[in-house]
Amino acid sequence: SQQGEEDPQALSIQEGENATMNCSYKTSINNLQWYRQNSGRGLVHLILIRSNEREKHSGRLRVTLDTSKKSSSLLITASRAADTASYFCATDADYNQGGKLIFGQGTELSVKP
């Protein structure tokens, strides 16, 4: 079963607005990652935040992590039409077997010009 659950499932905003996506997970983690997927293509790694970090920035991206609530958020500031994509959070599991990344259900972001 998937560890991460995201909301909203779909988000539609205007160019220039900020977009916030949330991710919740069930078990303890070592890190949480965010990925972007343009329609029908491979996933692109955006940012990784470790369990001992609370906030991380990368360009227009800001990720927060609250391990007490088992939740994370991804904020995209000043969105552009090119940000239109699906966004997935992913958490790690099964270290004893070498580790695996489990993806949440994803948020479909549409940025209208």
What is the smallest separation between the CB atom of 50 and other proteins, expressed in angstroms?
9
Between β-strands 31-37 and 43-50, what pairing exists: parallel, antiparallel or unpaired? antiparallel
Between β-strands 31-37 and 5-7, what pairing exists: parallel, antiparallel or unpaired? unpaired
- 57 counts as binding other proteins under rule CB under 8 A: no
- 11 counts as binding other proteins under rule CB under 8 A: no
Residue 83 or 92 having the CB closest to other proteins? 92
Q: Which amino acid is at 1?
A: S
Q: What is the DSSP letter of 9?
A: S
Tell me the three state secondary structure of residue 12. strand
Instruction: Look at residues 54, 55, 32 and name the one whose alpha carbon lies nearest to residue 45.
Output: 32
Q: Where do we find the tokens 């343009």?
A: 38
- 24 counts as binding other proteins under rule CB under 8 A: no
Stretch that binds other proteins, among 12-20, 57-65, 69-77, 91-99 (CB under 8 A): 91-99
- 95 counts as binding other proteins under rule CB under 8 A: yes
Among residues 11, 43, 61, 75, which is the contact residue for other proteins, using CB under 8 A? 43
Q: Rule CB under 8 A: which residues touch other proteins?
A: 2, 30-31, 33, 35, 40-45, 48, 88, 92-95, 97-106
